[in-house]
């Protein structure tokens, strides 16, 4: 089945003209028709448009365009509902955007299209990327392809589930506190959060501007490297994108990791860590030693403060960013006699409970009299957290941790307890605060039920080459990434 | 350490979000719990620590001050809930 191929496998077969982009796209569409009723990874998709793009790609392939020029030529890539794709709906998993249609492409989307990708579908997510389970979508929950009574993780739950269930070849998501890595771990695929500033955020609807980053979901590490190479680079339309050269990430996947140092943070061995997750990560550490890496115990002393710091900074930024949804220029409007009442009614009707909770918390921590006690203090603790990592990276090339303290939990299990839900992000959140890069790769399964376990590697700022080299070496020495969920 | 009381009604007003009395009650309890958890940041000594607003040290990124193509008028209005004569229509602001 063509939809089951990795990006590099499909690309090779397209180049040899053994298959067409239309056939590959049709295989993805068929898979969506077959399984998405049970998973609900897609909010919508335009099959005719996807096939038209596939036909255009086939024309280019037959006219001799090579994958060296267009590395994604003919590859179906689906997109989280938070990135603008021209003339497609954009809802951010929220009711407040109404019937919004994007008037332009995000830079990441422009780059996908320029590289020849077939950009299709709107993938489900927690409303405005706020959540860890995709239960906060206004359009219904996405289900984990490994066990449809369980959550796929979040906020990019649709992006992870779609790749894991072979409904697309790769997808894009966004990661503000773990929203790529955690669902990748829980659905058993590869999820990369690049360094802050590596990929332009232009056309990404902002949640927390100093933390948000776009990244790929893929079936293996090589595909992640390919997509990162396409998506990276400075963009004049995002002044926080960094003018750092874009290396050939695929080239760095040599398999040779002898002598590289991996840091094992002692603070990550917490009480709530599931024994099966711990055992899988311990085994991965041993595997790394076998591959020639050196394991060094390190300390990230401010780990315990990361979740609290995050929920001040992220909510503060969100309260400002989401002020734009006011019912005036686009989206839902609930009419009233004066503008203030119109704003309040529109936002009261349009936002879901988690978004309201976070905007109100963010407004509170920024409000007069509380700014210093909460927001400024959190920004200072952020410095301490960042310094922990920079200090650790003086001794090690990357850091190795579980991605999530548990495998996928049941739908409804944590949805009434926001704090418990926030604490499930404990291993992923620091990475965004520190602005470094991180990846989650499959490293095993729980016994009964069989659910994927993710291994997280954290790398230095702009250290994606080493990060992916390490991830790739482990992946290629194991078979975890080749396992398919029963539904796929 | 006890968490600060949060006046949900007032903060929701600042945030321009209309809440039902039920929502107010639920949020007060939930936010109380979250703020209680956040109090742990007060355990840390942050004197002489510089705040981090941004993890990447970029400063004063500017672009040339030149006229460039921008979103066409019609495209900008296409998603408006109410529009007429090339303008967004809003409730009366000035009497």
Is A198:A467 a contact under the CB 8 Å cutoff? no
Q: How far is A466 from chain B (nearest CA, A)?
A: 19
Q: How far is B3 from chain A (nearest CA, A)?
A: 12
Any chain B CB within 8 A of the CB of A374?
Answer: yes
Any chain A CB within 8 A of the CB of B19?
Answer: yes
For A349, other C-beta atoms within 10 Å of its C-beta total: 15
Q: What pTM, to 2 d.p., does this model score?
A: 0.97
Question: How deeply is A202 buried, as exposed, middle or buried, from its count of CB atoms within 10 A (0-12, 13-18, 19+)?
Answer: buried
Any chain B CB within 8 A of the CB of A305?
Answer: yes
What's the pLDDT at B2?
A: 44
Name residues whose C-beta falls within 8 Å of residue A101's C-beta, 6 or more positions apart in sequence. Answer: A87, A88, A89, A90, B78, B79
How sure is the predictor about B1, in pLDDT bands with cuts at 50, 70 and 90? very low
What's the pLDDT at B4?
A: 58
What's the pLDDT at A232?
A: 98
Is A342:A327 a contact under the CB 8 Å cutoff? yes
**What is the DSSP track for A229-270?**
HHHBS-BTTBTTS-------TGGG--S--TT-EEEEEGGG--
Nearest alpha carbon to residue A461 among A133, A225, A198: A198
Q: Which residues of A429-467 are buried (b: 16+ CB within 10 A; e: fewer)?
A: bbbbbbbbbbbbbbbbbbeeeebbbbbbbbbbbbbbbbb
**A348–B17 C-beta distance less than 8 A:** yes
DSSP state of A483: -
User: Catalytic residue among A132, A179, A232, A404, which?
Assistant: A179
Any chain A CB within 8 A of the CB of B2?
Answer: no
Q: Which residues of A97-108 are buried (b: 16+ CB within 10 A; e: fewer)?
A: bbebbbbebbbb
Any chain B CB within 8 A of the CB of A311?
Answer: yes
Any chain B CB within 8 A of the CB of A183?
Answer: no
**A305–B55 C-beta distance less than 8 A:** no
Per CATH, the homologous superfamily of domain A2-262+395-410+436-482 is: Amidase signature (AS) domain (3.90.1300.10)
First-last CA distance in chain A: 11
For residue A342, list chain B residues with Cβ-Cβ distance below 8 A.
90-91
Q: How far is B63 from chain A (nearest CA, A)?
A: 7
d(CA A460, CA A436): 6
Question: pLDDT by residue for chain A (488 residues), tens digit each?
Answer: 999 999 999 999 999 999 999 999 999 999 999 999 999 999 999 999 999 999 999 999 999 988 889 999 999 999 999 999 999 999 999 999 999 999 999 999 999 999 999 999 999 999 999 999 999 999 999 999 999 999 999 999 999 999 999 999 999 999 999 999 999 999 999 999 999 999 999 999 999 999 999 999 999 999 999 999 999 999 999 999 999 999 999 999 999 999 999 999 999 887 789 999 999 999 999 999 999 999 999 999 999 999 999 999 999 999 999 999 999 999 999 999 999 999 999 999 999 999 999 999 999 999 989 999 999 999 999 999 999 999 999 999 999 999 999 999 999 998 888 888 888 899 999 999 999 999 999 999 999 999 999 999 999 999 999 999 999 999 999 999 999 999 87
What's the pLDDT at A462?
A: 97
d(CA A316, CA A332): 23
Is A207:A321 a contact under the CB 8 Å cutoff? yes
What's the pLDDT at A422?
A: 85
What's the pLDDT at A355?
A: 98
User: Catalytic residue among A20, A155, A224, A424, which?
Assistant: A155
**What does the pLDDT look like over B39-80, one tens digit per residue?**
999 999 999 999 998 888 788 888 889 999 999 999 999 999
d(CA A289, CA A477): 12
A179 is catalytic: yes
Mutate to test the interface with B, among A380, A423, A424 (most CBs of B within 10 A): A380
For residue A356, list chain B residues with Cβ-Cβ distance below 8 A.
12, 17, 19, 23, 27
Residues in chain B: 95
A80 is catalytic: yes
Nearest to B8 among A100, A337, A360 (CB): A360
What's the pLDDT at A415?
A: 83
Interface pTM, i.e. ipTM: 0.94
**B38–A380 C-beta distance less than 8 A:** no
What's the pLDDT at A269?
A: 83
Nearest-by-CA chain B residue for A345: B18
- CB pairs below 8 Å between A and B: how many? 170
For residue B75, list chain A residues with Cβ-Cβ distance below 8 A.
103-104
* Distances in whole angstroms, Cα of residue A120 to Cα of each of A220, A295, B63: 20, 42, 33
d(CA A397, CA A145): 34
Pairing of strands A118-123, A76-80: parallel
Nearest alpha carbon to residue A117 among A183, A167, A50, A193: A50
Nearest to A363 among B11, B49, B92 (CB): B11
For residue B22, list chain A residues with Cβ-Cβ distance below 8 A.
none
Any chain A CB within 8 A of the CB of B89?
Answer: no
Nearest to A377 among B13, B46, B71 (CB): B46
User: Catalytic residue among A8, A20, A80, A404, which?
Assistant: A80
Nearest alpha carbon to residue A215 among A171, A151, A164, A246: A171
CB contact residues (below 8 A), chain B span 39-58, against chain A: 40-42, 44, 46, 49-56, 58
* Distances in whole angstroms, Cα of residue A385 to Cα of each of A6, A177, A275, A361: 36, 14, 27, 22
**B55–A434 C-beta distance less than 8 A:** yes
Q: How far is A241 from chain B (nearest CA, A)?
A: 9
* Distances in whole angstroms, Cα of residue A217 to Cα of each of A166, A180, A184, A443, A463: 12, 7, 7, 16, 19
Name residues whose C-beta falls within 8 Å of residue A175's C-beta, 6 or more positions apart in sequence. Answer: A156, A181, A191, A193, A212, A213, A214, A215, A428, A432
- Mean pLDDT (chain B) is 91
Q: Is the previous residue joined to A449 through a cis bond, with omega within 30 degrees of 0?
A: yes
d(CA A78, CA A217): 10
CB contact residues (below 8 A), chain A span 409-468, against chain B: 418-419, 422, 433-436, 461
Nearest-by-CA chain B residue for A437: B55
Please report which residue ranges of A16-93 form alpha helices under DSSP H.
21-39, 47-62
What's the pLDDT at A443?
A: 98
For residue B56, list chain A residues with Cβ-Cβ distance below 8 A.
195-197, 240, 242, 435, 461
- Token digits for B54? 């941004």
Beta-ladder partners of A410: A150
Nearest-by-CA chain A residue for B22: A353
Kindly calculate the radius of gyration of chain B based on its CA atoms and give it in whole angstroms: 23
Nearest to B55 among A101, A374, A435 (CB): A435
Nearest alpha carbon to residue A126 among A90, A84, A80: A80
Any chain B CB within 8 A of the CB of A234?
Answer: no
**Would you say domain B8-43 falls under CATH 1.10.20?**
yes
Domain boundaries, chain A: 2-262+395-410+436-482
């Amino acid at each position: 089945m063509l939809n089951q191929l990795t990006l590099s496998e499909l690309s090779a077969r397209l180049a040899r003209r053994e298959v067409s982009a239309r056939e590959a796209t049709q295989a993805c569409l068929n898979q969506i028709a077959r399984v998405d009723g049970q998973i609900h990874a897609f909010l919508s998709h335009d099959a005719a448009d996807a096939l038209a793009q596939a036909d255009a790609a086939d024309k280019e392939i037959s006219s001799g365009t090579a994958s060296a020029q267009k590395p994604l030529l003919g590859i179906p890539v689906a997109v989280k509902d938070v990135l603008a794709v021209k003339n497609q709906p954009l809802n951010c998993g929220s009711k407040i955007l109404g019937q919004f249609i994007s008037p332009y492409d995000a830079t990441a989307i422009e780059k996908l299209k320029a590289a020849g990708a077939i950009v299709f579908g709107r993938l489900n997510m927690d409303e405005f990327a706020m959540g860890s389970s995709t239960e906060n979508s206004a359009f219904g929950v996405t289900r984990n392809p490994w066990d449809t009574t369980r959550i796929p993780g979040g906020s990019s739950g649709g992006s992870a589930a779609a790749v894991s269930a072979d409904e697309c070849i790769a997808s894009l998501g966004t990661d503000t506190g773990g929203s790529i890595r955690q669902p990748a771990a829980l659905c058993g695929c590869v999820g990369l959060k690049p360094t802050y500033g590596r990929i332009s955020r232009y056309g990404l609807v902002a949640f927390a501007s100093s933390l948000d980053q776009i990244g790929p979901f893929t079936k293996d590490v090589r595909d992640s490297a390919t997509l990162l190479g396409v998506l990276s680079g400075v963009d004049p339309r995002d002044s926080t994108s960094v003018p750092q050269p874009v290396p050939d990430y695929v080239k760095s996947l040599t398999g040779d990791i002898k002598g590289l140092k991996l840091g094992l943070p002692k603070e990550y061995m917490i009480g709530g860590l599931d024994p099966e997750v711990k055992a899988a990560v311990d085994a991965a550490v041993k595997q790394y030693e076998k591959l020639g890496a050196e394991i060094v115990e390190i300390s990230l002393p401010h780990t315990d403060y990361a979740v609290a710091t995050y929920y001040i900074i992220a909510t503060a930024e969100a309260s400002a960013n989401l002020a734009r949804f006011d019912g005036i220029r686009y989206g839902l409007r609930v009419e009233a006699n004066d503008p203030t009442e119109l704003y309040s009614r529109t936002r009261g009707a349009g936002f879901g409970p988690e978004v309201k909770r976070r905007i109100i918390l963010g407004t509170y921590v920024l409000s007069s009299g509380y700014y210093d006690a909460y927001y400024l203090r959190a920004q200072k603790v952020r410095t301490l957290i960042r310094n922990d990592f920079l200090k650790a990276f003086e001794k090690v090339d990357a850091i190795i941790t579980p991605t999530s303290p548990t495998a996928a939990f049941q739908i409804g299990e944590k949805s009434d307890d926001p704090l418990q839900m926030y604490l499930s992000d404990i291993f992923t959140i620091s990475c965004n605060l520190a602005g470094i890069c991180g990846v989650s790769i499959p490293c095993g399964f729980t016994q009964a039920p069989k659910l994927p376990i993710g291994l997280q590697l954290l790398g230095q700022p702009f250290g994606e080459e080493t990060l992916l080299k390490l991830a790739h070496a482990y992946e290629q020495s194991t078979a975890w990434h080749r396992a398919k969920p029963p539904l796929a | 350490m006890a968490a600060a009381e949060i006046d949900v009604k007032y903060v929701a007003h600042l945030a321009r979000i209309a809440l039902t009395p039920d929502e107010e009650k639920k949020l007060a309890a939930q936010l109380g719990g979250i703020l209680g958890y956040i109090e742990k940041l007060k355990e840390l000594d942050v004197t002489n620590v510089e705040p981090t607003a941004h993890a990447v040290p970029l400063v004063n990124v500017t672009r040339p001050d030149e006229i460039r193509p921008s979103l066409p008028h019609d495209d900008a209005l296409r998603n408006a809930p109410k529009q007429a004569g090339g303008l967004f229509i809003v409730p009366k602001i000035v009497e």
